[in-house]
Structure 1
Amino acid sequence: MTELGIGIGWRPEIAEAVEGLSGVDWVEVVAENICAGHLPASLTRLRERGVTVVPHGVSLGLGGADRPDPARLAALGEKAVALGAPLVTEHIAFVRAGGPLTATPRLEAGHLLPVPRTRDALDVLVENVRIAQDALPVPLALENIAALLAWPGEEMSEGRFLAELVERTGVRLLVDVANLHTNHVNRGEDPARALSELPVEAIAYVHVAGGVERDGVWHDTHAHPVPEAVLDVLADLASRVSPPGILLERDDDFPPAAELAGELGRIRETLTDAAPRRDAASGGGAPRGRAVLPRPAPAERGPAAGTALLIGAEARVSGGPMPAAPASRDGDSGGARQRLGLAQASLLSALVAGTPVPEGFDSRRLGVQSRALAAKRAGVVAKVAPELPEILGTDFRRAFLGYARSRPMTGGYRRDALDFAAHLLVAGRPEDPAARQRLTRWWEDRSGSRPPGRATRLVRAARHALVGR
């Protein structure tokens, strides 16, 4: 297992601060925010200093009903190669639903949503993970996510679900202790139980992040200081195993470098304080938690063209690759995929398109999640298209949330920004002629088209009215 050390999430907004922090052994970068052929200068400088860079994906949706998109997998692999990364990471989540599998409209969540802990979902996830492992040039680790809601009829605890995933695929784990805390507050799940059920020797590294509680719901914001409760979960984990790597995540509301350094210091102190308990509990033997998994011979991975690269990458991981466990429950997955697809499409449609709440879900929690998704959409659109809040001013957020209530995202955030602008122009907004002219020029420059004329607007309005009946 690669020893990463203490790291921090690299973001453009804090690139200079990250470069100046002492004691940072590695950084993690959101894979979708970089291009393999044009890496940010800051990352290049860090690599030249010997700092490891790990790409962290957010859009594969390995927990979704569809098989992984080959193009997304290829892009993630290219970034791993460009960064010389020892591994890549993703999430146990679904991010889109619908489409041909369910004969329903394709919808994008714009966020990570929880997978039901059922046999069907696990079977689909196992097959998707194996597809990803075969396509990627370096080992894969998967992260447990934070959730505001729970699926009805779940058959396994989170720890057992993750343990069986590891047993069947040999995939590594990225354990987010902040997400374990989030699920404790929001779903009543005991972090200690989850840690006791995990195969801790499969941990590749650990995420630590902050959040905030509002009206009894914990929001995993990555925009607040790390609370003591999250550090307590980290201490519990570190008393069971010495994690190969720890990473501080911060995605918004970035503090001064001194505060980031202080948070890294608190993480180091937590690890140091937990070490004696770990040593006393283990007695020099295997880590506490579940028994060490057997290590069958690894399955073949990756295309022949990537074999040399794969061997080189795995040589950097002491102990060799995690094993691929024997296949089980691997018959025709079509039925499981369709059942999972219909369930996920129904939930996502309720969250982003206002359709009825599926049976068994908490309607209040669904409302909280729906508002959170819309707020995230607004925030990300403001980042990828900063001209929109500049043109619309204080009306941007209200206008976007109104647009999002009836128009689900179908093609990513940049497409969403264009669709939002077109929606405003069709409605004759903004009312200020100068602002409307600026918005028109912005839309034309990026879409390569002219805004729809009056006749087209009338047809679209009539069609929308018919669909809404």
Structure 2
Amino acid sequence: MYRLGTGIGWRPEIADAVEAMPGIDWVEVVAENVCPGHLPESLLRLRERGVTVVPHGVSLGLGDAERPDPARLAALAARAEALGSPLVTEHIAFVRAGGPLTATPRLEAGHLLPVPRTRDALAVLCENVRVAQDALPVPLAVENIAALFSWPEEEMTEGQFLYELADRTGVRLLIDVANLHTNHVNRGEDPAAALAELPLEALAYVHVAGGFERDGVWHDSHAHPVTQPVLDVLSDLAARVAPPGVLLERDEDFPAPAELAGELAAIRAAVERGRGPARTEVARGRRAVAAAGAATRRRLALAQTDLLSALVAGAPAPEGFDRPRLEVQARALAGKRADVVAKVAPELPRILGAAYRPAFLGYARGRPMTGGYRRDALDFAAHLVRTGSPQDARVRREVREWWRERSGPVPRSRRPTVRLARATRRMMLGR
């Protein structure tokens, strides 16, 4: 059994700080943000020092009704091999719906959404985890997620659901104590009760992150300091089992290195507070996994498509859901979509200025993302070009040029015909 120790989420914005920070035993990197053949120099230096690097996937969609995409699995496997990782991690979530199972257009959430804690969803998830385990060169661990809402008529608690998943598949668990606290505030679920039901002998490591509460809703922001209630959940977990590793996640609004070091010290102290007498691990037998039949997958696909259509395409909320909570989630998804598109295509907010966000949110209303954030940025610009927005002619021209440059398989400025036309023009002008 590996021991990871204390770690931090590696992000380009804090790469230098992470390298210089004492007491960092390992780091975690968002798998989709690194290329196996072009690893960041900072990660390579950390690896040379003996720091373990773990790839953490966010787009596999193990909770989707369809089986995992072989190309995504191959990409995750390639990153694990390039980084020399002892394991890879992903989420217990669905991220897309629609498609062949429902004979509807495919929808992308752009975010991690909760699967229903039902027998159908469990059967599909177990089979999808098995598919992933067979495709990966190292063990897989899966993470519990935070949620703003609950599915109606769920059949299990979170602890029972995770116990069954680990028991049936042998998958390891990445427990996010911040997500347990989030679900306590948003869904009234007791973190202690969840921990009591978990198969903690299957624990791979622990996530700790910050967030904030607004209007009775906890937002798992990864952009705020870790709060005491989250540290208390960590202490409770450490009282039950010695965690192989604990990691601080931070994705936005990075503080000074000294503040990050202070949060890591608080995390270490919370683990120490929780340590008690060693507990005897209970061996649990592994059950055979029944394959999820086509009818099971189709039932789950229809339910997820109805929900995602309400969240991203303006469809009515499915029966039984808390409608105000779905509205909060829909606004959060739209806001995240606008933020990520602004990062993927930073020229658009520069060109549009203060008009960018309202223009994008207006565009996104009723127009779900179907092909990832880069495609979304192009579709947004194409929408502005088609509708003649905004009113300023100079801004419209810049948006049109940006879209024309990037809309083809090869940038317009690099296409032979364009280069020839420009060369001819220069010759005619005597340049």
Q: Under TM normalisation by the shorter chain, which class is it?
A: over 0.9
Amino acid at match of 1:112: L
Q: How does 1:223-234 map to 2 (within 5 A)?
A: 223-234=223-234
Q: Structure 1 residues 328, 134: CA separation in 2 closer, same or farther (over 3 Å shift)?
A: closer
Secondary structure of 2:36 counterpart: coil
- Alpha carbons 1:199, 1:292 under 8 Å: kept: no
Deviation at residue 360 of structure 1 after TM alignment: 0.3
Note if contact 2:127-2:289 (Cα within 8 Å) is conserved in structure 1. no
After TM superposition, the structure 1 = structure 2 runs for residues 81-230 of structure 1, keeping only pairs within 5 Å, are 81-230=81-230
Q: Is 1:384 aligned with 2:344?
A: yes
For residues 310-325 of structure 1, what are the structure 2 equivalents within 5 Å? 325=286
Q: SS where residue 246 of structure 2 aligns?
A: strand
Partner secondary structure for residue 351 of structure 1: helix
Q: Distance in 2 between matches of 1:444 and 1:49?
A: 45
1:68-126 deviations in Å (ceiling 9; x for gaps): 00000000000000000000000000000000111111000000000000000000000
Shift of 1:406: 1.7
Shift of 1:445: 1.6
Match of 1:270 in 2: 270
Output the CA distance in 1 between the equivalents of 2:160 and 2:280.
19
Aligned match for 2:288, one of 313, 327, 338: 327
Does structure 1 residue 18 correspond to structure 2 residue 18? yes
Amino acid at match of 1:255: P
Match of 1:420 in 2: 380
Paired residue for 2:283, among 292, 314, 320? 292
User: Conserved in 2, the CA contact under 8 Å of 1:61 and 1:96?
Assistant: yes
Q: Does 1:438 align with 2:380?
A: no
1:280-302 CA distance string (max 9 Å, x none): xx4xx415xxx3324xxxxxxxx
1:155-185 CA-to-partner distances (Å, cap 9, x unmatched) read 0000000000001000000000000000000
Paired with 2:13 and 2:287, the residues of 1 have a C-alpha distance of 44
Structure 2, unmatched stretches of 5+, are 413-431
Aligned match for 1:369, one of 313, 326, 329: 329
Give the distance between the partners of 2:110 and 2:293, measured in 1 at CA.
Answer: 26
TM-score by length of 1: 0.86
Provide Cα deviations, 1:182-205, integer angstroms capped at 9, x if missing partner: 000000000001000001010000
User: Deviation at 1:244?
Assistant: 0.3
Secondary structure of the corresponding residue to residue 205 of structure 1: strand
Look up the SS of the partner of 2:65 in the other structure. coil
Counterpart in the other structure of 1:320 = none
Q: Secondary structure at the match of 1:17?
A: helix
Alignment partners' CA distance in 2, 1:165 and 1:180 = 17
SS in 1 for 2:3: coil
Displacement of 1:328 in angstroms is 3.8
Identity %, equivalent residues: 73
Match of residue 424 from structure 2: none
> In the alignment, what sits opposite 2:426?
none
For 1:156, give the aligned amino acid.
Answer: M
The C-alpha deviation readout for 1:13-54, integer Å capped at 9, x for no partner, is: 111111111100000000011111111111111111111100
Amino acid at match of 1:424: L
> Partners in 2 of 1:442 and 1:34 — Cα distance?
26
Does the Cα contact within 8 Å between 1:53 and 1:84 map onto a contact in 2? yes
**CA distance, structure 1, for counterparts of residue 287 and residue 159 of structure 2:** 20
The answer for the alignment partner of 1:346 in structure 2 is 306
Report the 3-state secondary structure (helix = DSSP H, G, I; strand = E; otherwise coil) of the residue aligned with 1:357. coil
Amino acid in the other structure paired with 1:366: L
Which residue is equivalent to 1:245? 245
Measured in 1, the distance between the counterparts of 2:362 and 2:254 equals 28
Tell me how far 1:440 sits from its aligned partner: 1.6
Equivalent residue, structure 1, for 2:42? 42
> Shift of residue 430 of structure 1?
2.4
1:398, distance to aligned residue in structure 2 (A): 0.8
Normalised by the length of structure 2, the TM-score is 0.94
Q: Does 1:448 align with 2:413?
A: no
Q: Secondary structure at the match of 1:106?
A: strand
Residue 346 of structure 2 corresponds to residue 408 of structure 1: no
Cα drift, residue 431 of structure 1: 2.1
Amino acid across the alignment from 1:346: D
The two structures, once aligned, show a CA RMSD in angstroms of 1.3
Secondary structure at the aligned position of 2:39 is classed as coil
Query: Unaligned stretches of 5+ in structure 1?
Result: 295-324, 452-469
Alignment-derived partner of residue 415 in structure 2: none
Q: CA deviation at 1:326?
A: 3.2
**C-alpha distance in 1 between matches for 2:402 and 2:131:** 40
1:98 match: secondary structure: strand
> What SS is found at the alignment partner of 1:64?
coil
2:379 maps to a residue whose letter is D
Contact residue 57 and residue 91 of structure 2 kept, 8 A: yes
- SS of the aligned residue for 1:239 comes to helix
1:56 aligns with 2:56: yes
- The residue number in structure 2 matching 1:395 is 355
Alignment partners' CA distance in 1, 2:207 and 2:283: 22
Match of residue 359 from structure 1: 319
Contact 1:286/1:292 (<8 A) preserved? no
Question: Which residue identity does 1:78 align to in structure 2?
Answer: A
Q: Distance in 2 between matches of 1:253 and 1:409?
A: 26
Query: Aligned-pair distance for 1:271?
Result: 1.1
Q: Secondary structure at the match of 1:406?
A: coil
Instruction: Give SS of 2:308's match.
Output: helix
Specify the code of the residue in structure 1 equivalent to 2:227: P
| Distance in structure 2 (CA, Å) of the matches to 1:212 and 1:326 | 40
Structure 1 counterpart of 2:312, one-letter code: V
